[in-house]
Amino acid sequence: MVMLEIVPVPAFSDNYIWLVHDPDSGETAVVDPGDAVPVLAEAERRGWRISQVWNTHWHPDHTGGNLAVKDAARATVSGPAGERIPGRDVELRERAEIRLGAHVGRVIEIPGHTLDHIGLVFEADGIAFVGDTIFAMGCGRLFEGTAAQMFDALQRIAGLSPDTRLYCAHEYTLGNARFAAHAEPESAAIAERLAAVTAMRGRGEITLPTTVAQERATNPFVRSPGVEKFARLRSEKDSFG
């Protein structure tokens, strides 16, 4: 089985929409299309046929392009069962399967940013699409859920295989790295990653995907020993810088 080809499509100021292509079947899925225009253009440029839309949560910068993609490509829209997902055809809950050709993923519920946020884990491929729950060296804001929910969600993601590549939805890494260095000033691993990320962004390079191993080593939210410490860090990050 040929590996999935995953392409970032920049949108808005800092979003990434992910195009996921299976060379064997010719199928292509799009993850969290907040804007249909760039993702349709990139798929057309590559000669890829979009057959599915996968949403991790309801926020408009992740779902705003659903209907236009669905109409243009006759794609099937799948998203969390408990959220208002435009054009949704398939409701996704814990342990549900999602397929692209012969590649099979499973749904995990990872609430906190929103109440019914989900992730899509393709274990055989070593990849996971995690929306706005975890970012490189950071995590999402608590717009709907509790600190306990987000802490548990992060621990669940951190429990995946260390080499799992995590496809987050925003280019927040530099700001997150600066906060991580503030939160753990004694960490050589964080200082080294901050320097690397600073150089990458200076060259205009994307910093994603990250990996579970990298987040275990350098993400202060993942590394929090408990909910109370996590909640303090999340509150501090909200007003940092």
Residues comprising the binding site for Zn(2+)?
57, 59, 61-62, 113, 132, 170
Active-site residue, selected from the candidate residues 21, 22, 35, 57: 57
Active site residue 22: no
Q: Is 21 left (phi over 0), alpha (psi -120 to 50) or beta?
A: beta
d(CA 11, CA 130): 17
Catalytic-residue membership of 59: yes
Distance (Å, whole) CA 227 – CA 104: 33
Which of 113, 116, 117, 125 does the annotation list as catalytic?
113
Q: In what order do the strands lie in the sheet with 97-100?
A: 97-100, 103-109, 118-122, 127-131, 165-168, 210-211
Known catalytic residue: 62? yes
Annotated binding site: 57, 59, 61-62, 113, 132, 170
Please work out, in degrees rounded to the nearest 5, the angle formed at the alpha carbon of residue 39 by the alpha carbons of 38 and 41: 65
Which residue among the candidates 21, 62, 103, 117 is catalytic per the annotation? 62
Nearest of 112, 72, 120, 126 to residue 94 by alpha carbon: 120
| Catalytic-role residue among 21, 59, 103, 117 | 59
User: Catalytic site residue 103?
Assistant: no
| Amino acid letter for position 187 | S
CB 218 within 8 A of CB 182: no
Residue 113 is a catalytic residue: yes
Catalytic positions: 57, 59, 61-62, 113, 132, 170
